[in-house]
Amino acid sequence: MIEGIQLEFFLVLGTLVFFIGIYGFLTRKNLITMLMSAELILNAVNINFVAFNKYLYPENLEGQFFALFIIAIAATEVAVAVSIIISLYRKIKSIDVEKVNELKY
Amino acid sequence: MEQIIFYILVSGILIFSVLTVTSRRILRAAVFLLFMLLCSAGLFFMLDFYFLAAVQLTVYAGGIIVLIIFSIMLTSQVNEKLEAAGVKKSSFSLIAAAAGAVVCIYSILNYSFPAVSNGETDSSMKNIGMQLLSYKDNGYVLPFEVISILLLASMVGAIIIAKRDSAK
């Protein structure tokens, strides 16, 4: 752990990044930028897990494993989301969320 | 010295994440997201989680950002500006996000966390690998396998979804 830095500092940092991501998710209209806001949210959660692991339970590795799994899930999420975005763009020539109002089935 | 680097990284994280959600050029937003992820990888390095930081650099900064930039290139004109959100929408979103942040920060600062224990972290790659594949106590072999199935399923799903309709 870093000298002179409290656990609360990390938690406040994680909270701020999380809500910046929420703000982006609410204001953006473009699907790709909404995806980027979701990445910000996931990364904020990672920061929290790592800080808890390091400061409260340094003899275990649980927080690190959860962060690793979150990174893997973020990768799969982005892969599927990018394929959905590309196939949407082929169909309606737009990735604006307000124009995406129909599903195939 | 350590603290100065730490504060630089933290301010980098905050500034770049704000720029990510407010920048009106989509490619710039992606690059700001890349810098934000690099800064948080630096934070993980400072906390001695070398393996996690390396995974963050390769998977997030290397893989996910490249995918996002590819999808930007495939779907939009790079130099066109995004339409700005309306005043009403952005102010309501700002209020909602700020209210949530205030509530969370208030409860964090009022909660007394248990005293910091001073055990040593053994976050060497050997230990991580052993624990990830162990089925004893503190073993993570089940989520590891579930993640591998999830990766396979998402790969198949991504190919199926992005495939061109050849039936037409």
- Is A105's pLDDT higher than 70? no
Cα angle for residues A36, B74, B162 (degrees, 5° grid):
85
Q: Is residue B28 part of a domain?
A: yes
Summarised one tens digit per residue, pLDDT across range B16-40 is 999 999 888 888 999 999 999 999 9
Q: Is residue B159 part of a domain?
A: yes
Q: Is residue B92 part of a domain?
A: no
Measure in Å the smallest separation between the Cα of B153 and chain A Cα atoms. Answer: 9
Name the maximum alpha-carbon separation found in chain B: 65
Is B85 within 8 Å of A28 when comparing Cβ atoms?
Answer: yes
Is A78 within 8 Å of B68 when comparing Cβ atoms?
Answer: yes
The confidence score (pLDDT) of residue B37 equals 93
Q: Is residue B101 part of a domain?
A: no
Judge if B8 and B77 occupy the same domain: yes
Across the range B12-19, mean pLDDT stands at 93
CA distances from A52 to A76, A90, B108 (A): 25, 44, 13
Nearest to B105 among A12, A46, A62 (CB): A12
The confidence score (pLDDT) of residue B10 equals 92
Q: Is residue B30 part of a domain?
A: yes
The confidence score (pLDDT) of residue A103 equals 63
Residues of chain A by 3-state class (helix, strand, coil), percent to 5: 75, 0, 25
Average pLDDT, chain A: 87
The confidence score (pLDDT) of residue B15 equals 95
The confidence score (pLDDT) of residue A23 equals 93
Domain boundaries, chain A: 7-92
Nearest to B64 among A22, A23, A78 (CB): A78
Which residue among B54, B82, B110 closes a domain?
B82
- Is B53's pLDDT higher than 70? yes
**Residue holding tokens 């950002």?**
B65
Q: Determine the CATH number of domain A7-92.
A: 1.10.287.3510
The domain of B22 spans: 1-82
Q: Is residue B112 part of a domain?
A: no
Report ipTM for this prediction.
0.90
The confidence score (pLDDT) of residue B166 equals 63
Judge if B64 and B130 occupy the same domain: no
Judge if B128 and B77 occupy the same domain: no
Average pLDDT, chain B: 87
Which residue among B82, B107, B142 closes a domain?
B82
Across the range B70-78, mean pLDDT stands at 82
Summarised one tens digit per residue, pLDDT across range B93-142 is 999 999 999 999 999 989 888 776 666 777 778 888 888 888 887 788 89
Number of domains in chain B: 2
Is B52 within 8 Å of A64 when comparing Cβ atoms?
Answer: yes
DSSP per-residue string spanning B71-93: HHHHHS-TTSPPPPPPHHHHHHH
Across the range B45-64, mean pLDDT stands at 89
Judge if B60 and B129 occupy the same domain: no
Asked if residues A53 and A63 have their Cβ atoms less than 8 Å apart, the reply is yes
Judge if B72 and B8 occupy the same domain: yes
Is A82 within 8 Å of B116 when comparing Cβ atoms?
Answer: no
Q: Name residue B149's amino acid.
A: I
Judge if B136 and B64 occupy the same domain: no
Summarised one tens digit per residue, pLDDT across range A17-48 is 999 999 999 998 888 899 999 999 999 999 99
Measure in Å the smallest separation between the Cα of A63 and chain B Cα atoms. Answer: 10
Is A65 within 8 Å of B64 when comparing Cβ atoms?
Answer: no
Judge if B78 and B142 occupy the same domain: no
Q: Which residues pair with A51 in a beta bridge?
A: none
- Is A4's pLDDT higher than 80? no
- Is A2's pLDDT higher than 80? no
The confidence score (pLDDT) of residue A39 equals 92
Q: Is residue B76 part of a domain?
A: yes
Asked if residues A41 and A21 have their Cβ atoms less than 8 Å apart, the reply is yes
Judge if B73 and B137 occupy the same domain: no
Which residue among B55, B82, B109 closes a domain?
B82
Instruction: Tell me the pTM.
Output: 0.89
Q: Which of A49-58, A94-103, B57-66, B138-147 has the lowest mean pLDDT?
A: A94-103
We report the CATH number of the domain holding residue B21 as 1.20.120.1200
Task: Kindly identify which residue of chain B lies nearest to residue A104, measuring between CA atoms.
Answer: B161
Measure in Å the smallest separation between the Cα of A99 and chain B Cα atoms. Answer: 14
